[in-house]
């Protein structure tokens, strides 16, 4: 099976290369903003050739990067039409800068011996990373973040070896319940604490932002404080990403079958008391990592429907406690008398859902007993439950 895999490297360009990169960032942004303005004004759409006649300096940068700016704008309007995004905005030089170029006829070369990356119309740029790949490069996205650090995201095409899917049983499967007090609760009773990366640095960030708000616009002191604010946000993002990568890899390594919840994040963020904590968790990114890593490793991943009552159902007798509130962390089943921890009970129910979905037994979902087929493949949809990889 062919997959597209991205390798992100930190770049260390020279002063001359920084100038060339700044020109490419600016020219790509100019093409994007010009075409967007023409669409808004309903005027005649220009081509790259016409824009080069108006702005001769566009000839000094990679022409493929300019073409990709047009493609990016087309993609933005396609996402708008299909309801996945809002109306595109003009790009600003004060935000994250980036451009993308496509590999054609060996115009992009990477040397792992000297750790250099050669891009069109640019001198070789040093990078730092220990990873090596032998697959051909499809495209490269070069970016500069708010901390003035440069990165290259290299997209390659890899072929995964055929992996035989192992039969699932109660020993190699797990249900994952996500929460705020504990980031993750496993069906075996293991609880992983919430690291609270943003909240731990919130006081320091607030102190610097107060100083930043009092500085004079376009002053050197304002720029220094802007970099400090950006550095804190970057540290929070990097710590969270490192935590999620290690946690998702640990889950994939130890279990062959995984069941997670399909949470309504937009609805949950409307809760003002929990919105800050929920945004700090990164649940969507964790589920995304679990999904592609399960695909690469040949593991089975099932995403339970949003209305599956994992917390309200007793895992012993299937009694549904409709009056269960969010504040009820422990409750006693009135049917069988079992004392249930809310999170562990939900994780066990998710594990049972996985085993029952892949078998022929009946499961208790959304208040009704439904019989599911014994085998699925690809992205089969089963009521409210999706099998993402098998």
Q: Is the pLDDT of residue 152 over 80?
A: yes
Distance separating alpha carbons of residues 294 and 249, to the nearest angstrom: 9
Angle at alpha carbon of residue 348, lines to 164 and 166, rounded to 5° = 10
Q: Could you confirm whether 177 is annotated as catalytic?
A: yes
Q: Could you confirm whether 343 is annotated as catalytic?
A: yes
Distance separating alpha carbons of residues 197 and 183, to the nearest angstrom: 12
Instruction: Choose, from 62, 177, 256, 280, the residue flagged as catalytic.
Output: 177
Angle at alpha carbon of residue 71, lines to 67 and 73, rounded to 5° = 120
Cα 135 to Cα 157, 299, 365: the distances in Å are 6, 24, 45
- CA 38 remoteness from chain centre: 32
Distance separating alpha carbons of residues 189 and 244, to the nearest angstrom: 20
Q: Is the pLDDT of residue 182 over 70?
A: yes
Of 383, 341, 338, 343, the closest CA to residue 365 belongs to 383
pTM exceeds cut of 0.85: no
pLDDT recorded at residue 379: 33
Beta strands 137-144 and 116-118 are unpaired
Alpha helices, DSSP H, located in 101-180:
none
From 123-127, 236-240, 280-284, the region with the lowest mean pLDDT: 280-284
Task: Break the chain into its structural domains and give their ranges.
Answer: 2-159, 173-389
Instruction: Choose, from 261, 328, 341, 362, the residue flagged as catalytic.
Output: 261
Tell me the pLDDT tens digit for each residue of 20-38: 999 999 999 999 999 999 9
Tokens 């899917």 correspond to what residue?
A: 165
305 phi, psi to nearest 5 deg: -65, 160
Q: Is the pLDDT of residue 372 over 80?
A: no
> Which residues lie closer than 8 Å to 33 by C-beta, 6 or more apart?
90, 91
Distance separating alpha carbons of residues 324 and 60, to the nearest angstrom: 65
The answer to whether 259 touches 351, Cβ cutoff 8 Å, is yes
Tell me the pLDDT tens digit for each residue of 184-212: 999 999 999 999 999 889 999 999 999 99
Among left, alpha and beta (phi > 0; psi -120 to 50; other), residue 269 is: alpha
Cα 46 to Cα 39, 52, 80, 259: the distances in Å are 10, 10, 22, 50
Distance separating alpha carbons of residues 356 and 302, to the nearest angstrom: 11
Tell me the pLDDT tens digit for each residue of 68-114: 999 999 999 999 999 989 999 999 988 899 999 999 988 999 999 99
Q: Could you confirm whether 242 is annotated as catalytic?
A: no
Average pLDDT over residues 350-379: 50
pLDDT recorded at residue 376: 34
Tell me the pLDDT tens digit for each residue of 238-272: 999 999 999 999 999 999 889 998 877 777 777 77
Instruction: Choose, from 62, 256, 280, 343, the residue flagged as catalytic.
Output: 343
């Amino acid at each position: 099976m062919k997959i597209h895999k991205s390798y992100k490297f930190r770049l260390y360009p020279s002063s001359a290369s920084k100038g060339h990169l700044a020109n490419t960032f600016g020219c790509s942004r100019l093409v994007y903003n010009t075409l967007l303005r023409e669409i808004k004004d309903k005027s005649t759409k220009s081509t790259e050739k016409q824009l080069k006649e108006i702005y001769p300096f566009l000839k000094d940068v990679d022409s493929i990067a300019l073409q990709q700016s047009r493609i990016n704008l087309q993609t933005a309007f396609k996402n708008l039409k299909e309801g996945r995004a809002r109306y595109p905005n003009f790009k600003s030089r004060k935000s994250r800068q980036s451009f993308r170029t496509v590999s054609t006829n060996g115009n992009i070369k990477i040397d792992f011996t000297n750790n250099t990356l050669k891009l069109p119309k640019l001198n070789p740029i040093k990078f730092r990373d220990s990873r090596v790949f032998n697959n051909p490069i499809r495209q490269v996205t070069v970016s500069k973040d708010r901390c003035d650090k440069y990165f290259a995201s290299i997209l390659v095409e890899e072929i995964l070896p055929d992996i035989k899917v192992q039969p699932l049983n109660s020993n190699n499967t797990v249900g994952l319940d996500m929460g705020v007090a504990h980031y993750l609760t496993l069906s075996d009773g293991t609880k992983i604490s919430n690291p609270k990366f943003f909240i731990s640095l919130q006081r320091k960030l607030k102190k610097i932002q107060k100083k930043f708000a009092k500085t004079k616009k376009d002053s050197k002191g304002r720029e220094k404080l802007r970099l400090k604010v950006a550095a804190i946000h970057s540290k929070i993002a990097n710590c969270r990403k490192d935590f999620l990568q290690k946690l998702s890899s640990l889950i994939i390594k130890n279990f062959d079958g995984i069941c997670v919840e399909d949470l309504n994040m937009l609805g949950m963020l409307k809760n003002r008391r929990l919105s800050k904590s929920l945004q700090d968790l990164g649940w969507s990114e964790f589920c995304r990592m679990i999904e592609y890593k399960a695909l690469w490793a040949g593991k089975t991943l099932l995403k339970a429907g949003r209305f599956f009552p994992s917390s309200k159902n007793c895992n012993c007798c299937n009694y549904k406690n409709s009056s269960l509130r969010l504040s009820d962390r422990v409750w006693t089943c009135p049917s069988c008398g079992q004392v249930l921890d809310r999170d562990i009970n939900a994780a066990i129910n998710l594990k049972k859902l996985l085993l029952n979905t892949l078998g022929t037994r009946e499961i208790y979902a959304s208040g009704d007993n439904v019989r599911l087929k014994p085998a699925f493949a690809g992205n089969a949809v089963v009521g409210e439950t999706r099998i993402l990889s098998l």
